[in-house]
Structures are given as C-alpha cells and as structure tokens.
Structure 1
C-alpha cells in the first residue's frame, strides 16, 4: 500500500491531546522506523523524569509477542513505544501488559468505540476481532531503576489487501467509527490513560485495576485452550489474579497461568 496522502503524526496535535500531561512526556516522531521498541531499548534515553515516547508513521520491522511480526502500512496504524521508569519497589513486571491494554481500551472508549474487550495478556479486541496489540519488554542490566518499554500498535484503517491473520478476525477504527480518527490525537489520549493507570499501578499494583480489566475480559467464563511453552491446558477462563496471572478452572481445580497464548476452544 503506497499512500502519499496519509496524515503524518504531528507533535503539536499530540501535545494538545495530552493537555495537562504534556510536560510529563518527551516525544520523538519519525516518518519511518524499523521497530520503535528495538530503537528505545538500544538507545535508552537519559532519566530526566519524563516518559520518553518514540512513534513512527511506519514500522518496517515491527514486533509482537513470541517473535511475531507487526505489519504496518502508511496511514494504516498508530505504532509507538514508551519508556516507563518505576520506583525500585514498584511491582514490575507483574500485570504490566494488562494495565497497558486497559489504558488503550479506555482511550478507545473515550473516542466512542463500542464493544472493546481485552484478551489476556496483550490484545485489545472489538466484538472479538483484534484491533490492537501490546509488547512489553523490560530494560536489560542490573542495578538500574526498574523500567519497561511498552510498545503499542492500533489498527487505524487497514488496506483492503492487508495480509493480517488472527484466529477470530481483525478490525480497524475506520470500521468501528465510520472513519479513522486522527492518529496524533489518539496517541495523546492513549498516553494520558497510560500515565493515569501506571501511576495507580506503581502505587498499588495490578490488584487496584483488576476489576476494571475483568469487566472487559473477552473470554470471561468461556472454554479456552492455553498454548504455552510447557503443557497445553484446557478449561474455563475464570478471569485474572491480583498479579495479572490468568485463572483457569480445570477439572483438576483452579490453575494459574503466567504466560501463554489464549484461544477459544472449538465446540
């Protein structure tokens, strides 16, 4: 998809959407980047008290969880990463991707998107179809302030011939709202929600946000398969625990799942 008419990210519009939170962020907006997560991890900005954000109109090597690629086209998606530093006693990384998903969900709801759901641990759905994905990576090295790079990709308006696969289908904001929203404003709205929720998370842990996540649980009380690195599990999705672990009701009792890929079990 070669679109020369797409609207590039605009720093002024992002700052306007950030409103009273503008001073909390440092913004770098690029036309093109291989992977915003990889770039931030490779070139960690100095700790100046702000959240450092790197956004790109197009990512040529965007990444998702478990080695998957995040595909990007001009004007088709909002892709960005943010470096969040936490106090030494903050509960990193437990539940961090779930908090980020909740922030995206609230920003989308603010835009008027209906039927927003969260799929453990890192997908945002609308009526069961994938709209956004999240990749959380901790910064390497010992003795540093706990920090994580949170990468987010949101489908704005996918091209008709986009080769994107997801078990329950994909969607974009153009389909949800009738037209794609301004990407710069959306970036600002998501960053505001991230700032608000990460402050709660840093002070009280994921347990303070667990109820809000559960309200949007895409697979609540549904039969699911857990496909992970070790054994495959099947059971009923019973929500999430106070640390963000998935709770699975199995014939052998309640199980906690800390990582894996959740998919609906076929009837």
Structure 2
C-alpha cells in the first residue's frame, strides 16, 4: 500500500470559522444578533440560562492551563489581605487596629520564607512540579507567598476573584498562571483540587471561609487528609475557641487534630515533610 498522509482533522477549527464569519456579506439577516455564532454572542453567553456552561468554562480553563504547566500539586496559602509588609505602616485609620495589623507583619516574612522552601521541591520522574505555591493572587499574605516563590526563581499561581472594588493580581504571580474567577465556588475548588498542603495565616472572613470548608471536607471524608498548618496559635485560639466547640459536643476533640499550629516557616515545612514521609 502506498504511504499517504492522513489529515489530523477534517472540520475547520472554531477560530477559523469565527474569522470567516467576520467577513460575510451584510444583510438584515446577517446583522441580526440571532445570526451570530453562539460562542461569539456575549449576550447569549452571559444570559441566566447559560450559568451552568459558565461554571464549566471557569472550571475547565484553569484546569487545562495548570495541566499544560505540569503542575502536579500545590502548596496553598490562605491569609489576610490587610497585614502589611514589615516596615510598612497599616492604612487603617484606627491607631489601635493599625498597630495590631503591623504587629502581625512578621507573618508576611514567614509566608515568604515558607513559599521559598516549598518552591525548591524537585520535579518528579514524569516532569510534574509539586508543592507549587498558590495564593489568592492579592496583596499581603498572598503577595508574600508569590514573592517567596519568585525569590528562588520559581513560578507560582494566583487565583483572583472579581470584586466590586478594583483588585489586580500582585506583581509576583507568574503571568501565565494568573487566573480570574467570577464564582467563589469554582475558585475554592481550584484551591483544593491540587492542594497537598495548606498554610493558613491570620485572616478574616475570606480566610475563615476557605479554611473551615477545607476542615469540613477532611472531617467528613470528602477529601483525603493533608497538612493544614495554622500560623499563630495565640491568634487562632483567641478568635476561635476550638476547645469550647469540642466541649459543647459540636465537634470531636479529635477534629482539633486536623490542624497543626506553628510559628515559623521552617516548622511548617517540617510538618509537610513529616506528613508525607509517613
């Protein structure tokens, strides 16, 4: 049999068809919105009825790009967007609150150091990268995490969310791994799909939301256990009375063991190493 070249595809690509559609004839029919290709019709794509499709797209786009980047696992960082870098004054107008935030600036340094440690993890035999740093992409603790990865020449992930007030990714996120989400639920899913360790720094509602969802998933067996490392035992025990929850019977005493409290990056990284050494 004579050797022949078999084409890889017989249908044109959607991008090609979209370009062809731009240069069609102009008639009342072709100018009407109904004639637009479905994937180019923004009114259609943003309609209420297409919400399930938008969910799928927001799940799929980061997944494909993270696969392409050979990211096998991530070290996820949760924490406040308000704690300043050491030496930088808080913008909070209340002097007492500003002083409290500035006193927590050491956690910026610890997040940065931990991110650098995690980013030294070598690739595996298949070329997959592990414990790649991932943050919410914003300022403060999130910035420190991405910055720590960059300190050692490593790439890092940022998962930003559209908010009513202007928000941009911090300058240390790898541009090709910087994602923006509309749905909080999909963003939180991407935090955990590849997470193999999570470092939690002092934070507010957002940090609580992400952390307690993670703890619930582990507690209920929906995901496998992983290191959940809580920075600042004094802070966490002051703002959440875990022992009282156990005493009231709404959690078990063993559930408190899902978290490990630490004060330094070195201590946190040792927790991760010990967990996976087992």
TM range (shorter): under 0.3
Task: Report the structure, 1 or 2, having the larger helix content.
Answer: 2
TM-score by length of 2: 0.23
Task: Report the structure, 1 or 2, having the larger strand content.
Answer: 1
TM-score by length of 1: 0.24
